[in-house]
Amino acid sequence: MAYTYTITASNSEGGSDAVSQAYILGPALELPLEQTFENEAEMRNRWTILDGNNDTYTWMFYTNLGHSVFGDYEVCAEYIVSPTLGNTEDADEWLISPPVALEAGVEYEVTVSSRCYSVDANSNYAEEPMDIYFGKMNTREAMTEKLGTIKATVNEIDDATGTMAFKLNSVALPVQDEDATRCVGINLVTPLLRSGFLQINAIYIAEKGVYNGVNDIATDAAQATIALNGRTLTIFGDFKAATLYNIQGAAVATATSAIMNLDSLANGVYILNVDGRSFKIAL
C-alpha cells in the first residue's frame, strides 16, 4: 500500500499541514510482476510516481489523448512533451517499482511496452529515452545503479488493430549472489526541444525471456542511405524493414525491395524509417 504522513503545526492563530510524499510499504512481491494500468488504485498503491524536475508536467493516466494520436483507447501511463505546453526543462519523470523478491543466481529483466509519436526540431521522428535504474528501496534517492537506456519509438502498424503497435524493450537486472529485495526505476529523460506523446501500456519484471523483450538490437542498416529521383525512392545498403509514414504518423508504404514507387502519394512531407533510422522526404 501507499502511505503518507502529515505534520501539523498549530498555535492560537490557527494551523497548517505538511503532507509527505507517498511511500510504498509492505512485503516484497513475488515475480513475475506484470503491471498494466487498468486498475488505477492498484497501480498507485504499488508504484512510486514522481515529477523529478517539479515542473508540474509529468505522468498522466486514463486520458483519451491516445485516441487523437494513435486512434485507439489503450489505458496507459502517458507523457506529453512540447515547448508550447509550458515544459521548461528536460523531462525527469519517474516510475519506481514496489520491492520485488529476487532469487540468488537467477537472471531477471525489466521489460517496458511502449510507443510514441515524437519529432525533433527538424521534424524527423524522434525516440523517447528512458533510463533504467536499480536500488534497494523504492525512492528516487535509492536509485543509484543505472542499468541502461531503452527508447520508445514510432512503430509499425499492428495488422490486428490498424493502429501503431506497442514494442517491448528489455534491460537485464544484475544477478544477485544471495536472495535479495530490490526495486527498479524507470526515468523518462526526454530532451526539452522535442515535441511528442509517449505511452506505456505495461511494465514487466520477470526471469529473462518470459516476456520476449529485446536487448540492444544492432542493425546492419545503420549506415543506409537513400536517393529520391522524381517519385522513385532507392534505399542503398542492406536493410530489414523500411516503412514510409505521413506526418500524422500513419504508415503509407512499406518497402519490399530497395526501390519504392511513390506515384500514388500526395505531395507533402513524409518520414522514411529504415531499421530505426529516419529520413525526411518531400514530394
Please, which residues have CB within 8 angstroms of residue 244's CB and are 6 or more apart in sequence? 233, 251, 252, 253, 254, 255, 260, 262, 265, 270, 271, 272, 273, 281
3-state secondary structure 127-166: CEEEEEEEECCCCCCCCCEEEEEEEECCCCECCCCCCECC
Q: What is the per-residue pLDDT for 217?
A: 38
Residue the block writes with cell 504518423: 249
Task: Please tell me which of 82-96, 171-185, 233-247, 262-276 the model is most confident about, judged by mean pLDDT.
Answer: 171-185
Task: Please tell me which of 139-143, 221-225, 233-237 the model is most confident about, judged by mean pLDDT.
Answer: 139-143
Q: What is the per-residue pLDDT for 266?
A: 87
What is the chain's length?
Answer: 283
- Indicate yes or no: pTM above 0.85: no
Q: What is the per-residue pLDDT for 273?
A: 79
Place 276 in a pLDDT band, splitting at 50, 70 and 90.
low
Q: How far apart are CA 86 and CA 142, in angstroms?
A: 30
Q: What is the per-residue pLDDT for 212?
A: 64
Q: Which amino acid is at 54?
A: N
Q: Is residue 148 scored above 70 in pLDDT?
A: yes
- Region 28-38: what's the mean pLDDT? 90
Place 257 in a pLDDT band, splitting at 50, 70 and 90.
confident
Q: Where are the alpha helices (DSSP H) in 88-132?
A: none
Q: Is residue 214 scored above 60 in pLDDT?
A: no
Q: What is the per-residue pLDDT for 256?
A: 72
More confident residue, 194 or 13: 13
DSSP class of residue 37 equals S
Cβ atoms of residues 258 and 234 within 8 Å = yes
Please, which residues have CB within 8 angstroms of residue 73's CB and are 6 or more apart in sequence? 64, 66, 67
Place 78 in a pLDDT band, splitting at 50, 70 and 90.
very high
